[in-house]
Amino acid sequence: MSLFKGIPQSVYACLFLPALVLLIAALQNMDGHAVDLHDVLQGTSTAHWLGTDVLGRDILSRLAEGVTLSFSVAISVITLCAIIGISVGMIAAWLGGWVDSVLMRFVDIVLSFPGILLAIALAAVLGPGVDKLIIALAAVGWVGFARLTRAQVLSLRHAPYIEAAIASGQNTIHIATKHLLPNIAAPLLIEASFGIAAVMIGEAGLSFLGIGIQPPDASLGTMIREGSQLMLVAPMQVVYPGLMLFLLVMSANLAGDALRDYLDVRSKR
């Protein structure tokens, strides 16, 4: 519970509206894919709290699906990035020598490309689909975890307790999981929290360009793309998903700041 005491009220404020949308959509129990051409571009009403889109679909239900999908994609991508990046960083720092040089030069090559452009290229090659979108975003995002892990492991490589573990005959996997990983978990958690915000923006951007989440699945990016064609007629078609994306990204960034301040001993001092 002490962890939640360090989270500022601004995080809860940003999360309130998306959580409220999910709750109301669950209580409303409507299908966001149900097309009703007799109820197109309707305003707020008791039947449709946020109105309907160009195909008569309930905007509130589609927002709830978009928020859930954006968060699930972000968690999946960050988990995959962490597994790959931490493994590569630990191997490079622990073995050193030519292994470290080869792996870090490969990381530098990936970093030399703009992240969003590389994700667009990979998504275009792999094709549409949630699983392929996750792979495309993870292929870009793991390098941050790799460099951070390598730097942290190098700083602990010759620590007394690591030297004692090596002298006692413990194998490398045991040292990595029991001694190294717990001691570098704090900066990795902070990296993950900021990475979630970046993945949400990346998923929305790829979906906006038409190479991410495909209809009829609801994504905040696809909803913004569809609503952008109706800016003069129904501007709220863009405002609602744009506001949801803004609040999700803002809450993830604020949570990362709060987590960094909570885990930073110097800031407490």
C-alpha dist (Å) from residue 183 to 17, 146, 171: 36, 16, 18
**pLDDT, tens digit (0-9, with 9 covering 90-100), for 35-69:** 776 777 777 777 777 778 878 788 888 888 888 88
Per-residue b or e along 100-120, where b marks 16 or more CB atoms closer than 10 Å to that residue's CB: beebbeebeeeeeeebbebbb
CATH number at residue 152: 1.10.3720.10
Q: How far is CA 8 from CA 50, 71, 149, in A?
A: 29, 21, 28
190-199 pLDDT tens trace? 888 888 989 9
Which residues are within 8 A (CB) of 257 and not within 5 positions of it... i.e. 6 or more apart? none
Domain that holds residue 36: 2-268
Give the pLDDT mean for 129-137. 88
**pLDDT higher than threshold 60 for residue 3:** no
Q: What percent of the chain has pLDDT over 90?
A: 14
pTM summary value: 0.85
pLDDT digits (tens, 9 = 90+) for 202-261: 999 888 888 888 877 888 888 898 888 888 888 888 888 888 888 888 888 887 777 777
Mean per-residue pLDDT, 11-31: 65
What's the domain count of the chain?
Answer: 1
- Pick the more confident residue, 34 or 172: 172
What is the distance, to the nearest Å, from the Cα of residue 150 to the centroid of all Cα atoms in its chain? 22
Whether the Cβ atoms of residue 55 and residue 35 lie closer than 8 Å to each other: yes
pLDDT band at 2; cut points 50, 70, 90: very low
